[in-house]
Amino acid sequence: MNAPESLPLEFPVFDNSFAALPETFYTRLAPQPLPAPYVVASSAEVAGLIGLPAGLLETQEFAEIFAGNQPLPGADPLAAVYSGHQFGVWAGQLGDGRAHLLGGLRNPQGHWEIQLKGAGRTPYSRGADGRAVLRSSIREFLCSEAMAGLGIPTTRALCVIGADQPVRREEIETAAVVTRVAPGFVRFGSFEHWASRDRHSELQQLADYVIDTFRPECRAAANPYDALLRDVSWRTGELMAQWMAVGFMHGVMNTDNMSILGLTLDYGPFGFMEAFDAGHICNHSDHQGRYTYRNQPHVAQWNLYCLADAFLPLIKRPKQAREAIDETYGDAFGASFERLMRSKLGLHSGLADDEDFVGETFGLLQQHRPDFTLFFRALTKLPAVLDGETPAKTDAPLRDLFVDRAACDAWLATWRARLAQTPWPDGERQAAMRAANPKYVLRNWLAEKAIRQAKDKDFSEVRRLLACLRKPYDEQPEFEDYAALPPDWASGLEVSCSS
Ligand code: AMP
Ligand code: MG
């Protein structure tokens, strides 16, 4: 028997659990069609997570579905409402101004929700156009998958679909839709929304939804809502440590961009640290420098206090809500950051003075501004003992990143003395350090190069970058060009909230 020309495609079965919440939580509405869509890039890994038929990827039907032109079988599209604090100021009601949740499903790999970003206006668009441009969609797509490759909790991205429809930003650009996939998209601001309106019943419904869907273990606690708050606080602390350890800067850590599940959420003007400066502002629109690299752990805690205040009606005892943060966040961040820094520096086990040594290391970085990623990756190549060789020869990979070689040598002497206190064979230590210090991160200039080509309809660079960023800790000599310092043309690159 001959195979039929087009095989029937088996779509995953949706449960749409968020849509089962009362309609006060969202507005049901279909995405707005985008004429003549095309596939810019897709992630087979994410397609696998949600059980999409492999034969669908990259087809015209795929482009039509994820542009929002053709319904995904079983979907029940909606835009959710939330509020939030933006740049430290209460902003009132926000919501999915350009995101459509298509639906959710549960499979052996977890609970997944599928969301289009940029598929048209919603009741929460606040006068904006509901669209996203190709530039920012490629950035979100690549960074979601890059963070997943780094092993950092994040929303994922299935694809970017482009279209020639013009979209007005500082200049005219073209429209795109990025499909995000995550266990859930509930934000700190989703809770602040109901608390700010004294709508305690909805507040509790939302908390119950999060607990029942994602954190059933919280039910066993004396106060499940207190347990949920502590869970969010703990995960957020761990997430901040992970961001800091790879030099990731989110750029817009408003409470509406903070995930209740501890995921990296809403990629906009993010950046990865290059020449180290703890005061670096990656978002050109952040005039006060609220979201600098060094501020991120403090801002996350401030955001958690906002969440704790929103949880007050559920926890009832006022002091207890903020206490839940104080008793978890610092410990989670501190323990994770210490563990990650120990791995990055190749320390086999912890010693009492390690915090000082880590501080000294950041002091060196701040004073001499080497490239953050290259510094730690170069360190993985160095032996624990000089063994008669000159530093000029043995330590060249690291020394070459410094103008002041003597400063580098002095720090290396301290590092070697510290290594000697907890000996670890070089081969093993170096392999462990490589697994903690990525060779490849999504540098702005790499994203920019891929975007410039994509604007000319050449998507090969987006795809090549994606392939590289899947395995950021591997050597991958074929991608050596992606591990380079930013070229001169990239020195003026600025990223703003415009997306
Ligand atoms: P962001 O700064 O990207 O987190 O966005 C803040 C809020 O503005 C969110 O509620 C977004 O949904 C909304 N928003 C941003 N850009 C647009 C747009 N082009 N159209 C509609 N809503 C938007
Ligand atoms: Mg946002």
pLDDT tens track for 221-231: 999 999 999 99
Q: For residue 54, name the pLDDT band (cuts at 50, 70, 90).
A: confident
pLDDT above 50 (res 449): yes
Q: For residue 320, name the pLDDT band (cuts at 50, 70, 90).
A: confident
Which atom of ligand 1 is found nearest the CA of 96?
Answer: 12
> For the chain, what is the mean pLDDT?
96
Q: How many A from CA of 97 to the centre of ligand 2?
A: 9
Residue of the CA atom closest to atom 22 of ligand 1: 97
pLDDT above 60 (res 1): no
pTM of the entire predicted model: 0.97
Q: Which residue has better confidence, 390 or 483? A: 483
- Taking the C-alpha atoms of residue 246 and residue 150, their distance in angstroms, rounded to an integer, is 8
Q: How many A from CA of 98 to the centre of ligand 2?
A: 10
pLDDT of residue 2: 45
> For the residues 190-206, what does the mean pLDDT come to?
98
Residues touching ligand 1 (Cβ under 6 Å) are 94-98, 124-125, 128-131, 252, 257, 266, 268, 497
- Taking the C-alpha atoms of residue 294 and residue 367, their distance in angstroms, rounded to an integer, is 15
> For the residues 123-152, what does the mean pLDDT come to?
98
pLDDT above 90 (res 492): no
DSSP letter for each residue of 240-306 = HHHHHHHTEE-S---GGGSBTTS-B---SS-EE--B--TT----TT-TT-TT-TTTHHHHHHHHHHH
Which atom of ligand 1 is found nearest the CA of 266?
Answer: 4
> For the residues 59-86, what does the mean pLDDT come to?
97
Answer for the pair 440, 469: CB distance below 8 angstroms, yes or no. yes
pLDDT of residue 6: 58
Residues serving a catalytic function are 256
pLDDT above 80 (res 220): yes
pLDDT of residue 22: 97
pLDDT above 60 (res 4): no
Q: How many A from CA of 100 to the centre of ligand 1?
A: 12
Residue among 85, 98, 193 to mutate when testing ligand 1 (max atoms within 8 A of CB): 98
Residue of the CA atom closest to atom 6 of ligand 1: 94
pLDDT of residue 7: 60
> For the residues 469-478, what does the mean pLDDT come to?
98
Q: How many A from CA of 488 to the centre of ligand 1?
A: 32
> For the residues 26-52, what does the mean pLDDT come to?
97
Residue among 89, 180, 256 to mutate when testing ligand 1 (max atoms within 8 A of CB): 256
Provide the percentage of residues in the chain whose pLDDT is more than 90: 93
Query: Residues lining ligand 2 (ion), CB within 5 A?
Result: 257, 266
> For the residues 310-333, what does the mean pLDDT come to?
93
Residue of the CA atom closest to atom 12 of ligand 1: 97
User: In the beta sheet, which residues pair with residue 110?
Assistant: 107
Q: 149-185, pLDDT tens digit by residue? A: 999 999 999 999 999 999 999 999 999 999 999 999 9
pLDDT of residue 3: 42
Q: How many A from CA of 98 to the centre of ligand 1?
A: 6
- Tokens standing for 296? 């991120």
Q: 333-353, pLDDT tens digit by residue? A: 999 999 999 999 999 999 999
pLDDT above 90 (res 401): yes
Q: Which helix (H) or strand (E) holds 27?
A: strand 26-28
Q: How far is CA 251 from CA 105, 201, 293, 484, in A?
A: 31, 33, 9, 23
Answer for the pair 345, 432: CB distance below 8 angstroms, yes or no. no
Separation of CA 369 from chain center: 24
pLDDT of residue 5: 53
pLDDT of residue 152: 99
Answer for the pair 199, 206: CB distance below 8 angstroms, yes or no. no
**Dmax of the chain from CA atoms?**
76
- Range in 99-103, 470-474, 487-491 the model is least confident about: 487-491
pLDDT above 90 (res 105): yes
